[in-house]
């Protein structure tokens, strides 16, 4: 199901999505957001386990729901998200489908 952007609120740009993901990851993993790069691997570089990734997905969905209706990250797509860049690209692609 494609997300619908609510009237008058506009879409997110890549920098906003990157900031959301970085801030949420830092909060979940209790690390400094400055150490989170687009090339960072969730497991290898950041030490994120599957539970942390699920928490990240929930946090992203909640954050984006303020301006996007029905934004969802499909569970079956979660295994393809290995780096921060993968997550950013995925979210941007889903937003563009709206």
The answer to whether the CB of 61 falls within 8 A of the CB of 25 is: no
Is 49 one of the annotated active-site residues of the chain?
Answer: yes
Distance CA 24, CA 17 (A): 11
Selecting among 49, 70, 74, 80, the annotated active-site residue is 49
The answer to whether the CB of 84 falls within 8 A of the CB of 37 is: yes
Residues with catalytic roles: 49
């Amino acid at each position: 199901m494609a997300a619908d952007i609510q009237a008058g609120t506009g879409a997110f740009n890549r920098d906003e999505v990157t900031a959301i993901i970085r801030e949420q990851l830092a909060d979940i993993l209790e690390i400094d957001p400055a150490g989170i790069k687009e090339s960072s691997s969730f497991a290898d570089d950041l030490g994120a386990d599957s539970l942390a990734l699920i928490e990240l997905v929930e946090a992203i969905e909640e954050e984006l729901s303020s301006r996007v209706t029905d934004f969802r990250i499909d569970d079956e797509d979660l295994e393809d998200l290995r780096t921060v860049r993968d997550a950013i690209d995925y979210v941007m692609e889903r937003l563009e489908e709206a």
